[in-house]
Amino acid sequence: MRNARIAPMRALTFLASRFVAGDAIDDAISSVRALNQDGIKATLDNLGEDSLTREQALAAAEENLVMLRRIAEVGVDSNISLKLTQIGLAIDPALARENLIRIAQEAARLKNFVRIDMEGSAWTQKTLDLFYSLHDQYPNLGIVLQAYLRRTEADCRDAVARKVRVRLCKGAYKEPADIAFPSKEDVNANYDKCAAILARAPIPAFATHDDARIAAALKACDAAGLVKSDYEIQMLYGLRAKRWGELRAKGHTVRIYVPYGTHWLPYFTRRIRERKENWMFVVRNLWS
């Protein structure tokens, strides 16, 4: 029985090594430097969520401060991304706020930018509330919105009105049908609708590996009168590297989400568990 468990775990470890840039910050910095050499920007993310103790939340916040300082020290072109439950939202909202302020202040000092990731729907409103309570004071904070949620069209319109920076993604959490669109077609349609709305926001970021979604976002940006430096196309580390280069060669700003750390299992399995097409996409990219 033990051997039966070991084999699948080894396979997952092998697969995850393709999509996670190592266990430590210096591993990730090396990956970012390689991307920068190809004219591609990065977002660093120390994997982890749902800190269970104050000590874990403080340690996670400290790692984000270390990330910002290492980026500045070595001079790579990268911002950072974090989850609010990682820095304490699940155990003490006041602690999460305090940690986020510390991180935002350090990012401002170092002239960098912090993106707040979106988690499952139980955290959507709490994440937005904390983000908006600080955004006016810390405009170097941005947010992520998920196209598979039914509420996201309204959230995009609100973000445009508030002039905040948004990364639009499809979403990777399992949600009930009354909260999220159950079909791929409906998610795609909502992504395109939200992309057109966000073309009026400052530096919108379109996070997708779907060529049809990229085409729709670029069309929306063109219709809004944006030039290529006004928006970003974002993708995940390890997926479709050839496509990154093609987009960059055409003059688009391309930013790659570069995760690192030992807590890779939830990150990796979530992306292959919820939607069967994600698994096939990962397998195809092993040989691309």
Q: Per residue in 131-187, pLDDT tens?
A: 999 999 999 999 999 999 999 999 999 999 999 999 999 998 889 999 999 999 999
- Of the candidates 117, 165, 200, 240, the residue annotated as catalytic is 117
For residue 266, the model assigns a pLDDT of: 62
For residue 48, the model assigns a pLDDT of: 81
**Residue 4 placed within a domain:** no
Task: Work out whether the CA dihedral 97, 60, 167, 75 comes out positive or negative.
Answer: positive
For residue 265, the model assigns a pLDDT of: 60
Write the CATH number for 206.
3.20.20.220
Counted domains in the chain = 1
For residue 264, the model assigns a pLDDT of: 61
For residue 106, the model assigns a pLDDT of: 98
**Residue 71 placed within a domain:** yes
**Residue 60 placed within a domain:** yes
- Of the candidates 167, 200, 213, 255, the residue annotated as catalytic is 167
Task: Report the candidate in 182, 173, 180, 224 with the shortest Cα–Cα distance to residue 203.
Answer: 224
Clarify whether 2 is annotated catalytic: no
Clarify whether 70 is annotated catalytic: no
* Residue span of the structural domain in which 82 resides: 45-169+176-285
